Chains A and B, each alone.
Chain A
Amino acid sequence: MELVQKMLAGSDRCLARLITLVEREAPEVPQIMSLIYPRLGHAHFVGVTGPPGAGKSTLVDRLTAIMRARGFSVGILAADPTSPFTGGAVLGDRIRMQQHYLDKGVFIRSMATRGSRGGLPRAARGVIKLLDAFGKDFVLVETVGVGQTELDIVEAADTTVVILVPEAGDSIQTMKAGLLEIADIFVVNKADREGANYLVTELEQMLRMAPRESWWQVPVLATQAVNNIGIEEVYQQIERHKEALRATERLSLRRREQRKMEFIETIEQGIRARLLELASKDGQLAAFLEKVEQGQLDPYSASREILSNKALLHAWLSALEEEC
């Protein structure tokens, strides 16, 4: 496929077009993914997540500068939410990274979540693979600013940076599950504000009480990203984590797990898509659907009936085979 060849040869325009195809879940996507597969594995993926306004984009911008100074190339995926009402989005992360606009070694792509419930669009995994295949040393993935749960990023990242601000709350808050469990590195940004030291201490205490891994001690760093304070330390920790992953072979374990999840999810998505299509075409399924919609039949009974009807399932499998 010509686009892929040109991208692998270094065309950023072709990379951008491939990203668009992946984002749209175009029919060429499986072919694209197969073609780039042999070229994957070089990039280190760093996820940056945290509540809205914590300073994710600014941190990504400053980290990129440090990485560039060391000669590494950087790919950035910055996600922002799609409006559930209009379907549109304001993609406002790029604006924080203006110093890199003219740097050929930095590729920035903004993406809207387009209906994904998590902090990243569904297509994010495919897009970061494209950035990897393109040859980026680091791929920084910035999620939408979310609240307490943020699992998407863990599946996409090797190193997850959770960035908080001093207003994030007290010790009870830090004990809650979710966001605070997924961090490989904690950053307390806007550290000139009141409460910063307190939050750092609370986080350190929480981590001491319940360490997640034996081979990695999660550091808590204070930064003022806007003033470029503390960013060098964040970078050093990313490098240390990267090294620890390799040294303990956790990296290959994580990649295995990620590949498995991706495999299952891709199949799931395919089945789901066919099912929804069949729902509109197949008379029997439509009849069930109608009964459920009217309230005459509950979804669980309907589902049980459908899944135990061998003839029906067989007919569907054949229909599935035809469609593939």
Chain B
Amino acid sequence: MAAERRIRVLLTKPGLDGHDRGVKVLTMGLRNEGMEVVYTGLRQSPEMIVQSAIQEDVDVVGLSCLSGAHKHIFPQVVELLRQRGVEDMLVVGGGIIPQEDVPFLKEKGISAIFGPGTPIKKIAEYIRKNVKRK
């Protein structure tokens, strides 16, 4: 008899942000939505993020960036995942991301961007609907 399936999420702060209040709120929020959430801590390089994602075998990688480095760093994470042969993790992002940057990020493989004020339920539902792995 198989145990029930839980969605595992890696929440992480690529780059040099100093604040993680928002990502911590989301960590608790997704926990309350029944997901298992690993928060990596601040100042993560793409290599650290991918290594953690692989070891934890997560379904979702959530990238949070407040300092404007998202166009540079988010695609790096996606690319590195691809290089390591990971095709089935859902990558989403949040933080301070200008609307005009969203199409570029989606093109680069970040499936959705959830900015400040997004209801946590909305994020959770998106994840549940779009998780790629069974």
Contacts and interface: CB of A to CB of B under 8 A. Distances in A.
A123 B36 CA distance: 16
Contacts of B52: 94, 101, 108
A87 interface: yes
B6 A108 contact: no
| B-side interface size class | 20 to 34
A131 to B, nearest CB: 11
B31 A25 contact: no
Given A88-B35, A94-B40, A110 B56 contact: yes
Contacts, number: 95
Contacts of B2: 24-27
B51 interface: yes
Interface string B12-43: 00000000000000011011111111111100
Given A13-B85, A23-B3, A87 B34 contact: yes
Interface stretch (A14-22, A195-203, A206-214, A237-245): A14-22
B37 A91 contact: yes
Contacts of B36: 82, 88-89, 91, 110, 112
B101 interface: no
Interface string A80-122: 0011001111111011001001100001111010100000001
Contact of B28 (A19, A23, A90): A90
Interface residues of A, number: 36
B60 to A, nearest CB: 13
A92 B10 CA distance: 11
B86 interface: yes
Nearest to A23: B3
A273 interface: yes
A133 B1 CA distance: 25
Contact of B37 (A90, A107, A109): A90
Nearest to A107: B55
A89 B51 contact: no
Interface of A: 12-13, 16-17, 19-20, 23-27, 82-83, 86-92, 94-95, 98, 101-102, 107-110, 112, 114, 122-123, 273, 276-277
17 contacts: A16-B55, A16-B57, A20-B57, A24-B5, A25-B2, A88-B32, A88-B34, A90-B28, A91-B38, A95-B39, A95-B40, A98-B48, A101-B48, A101-B52, A114-B3, A122-B3, A277-B1
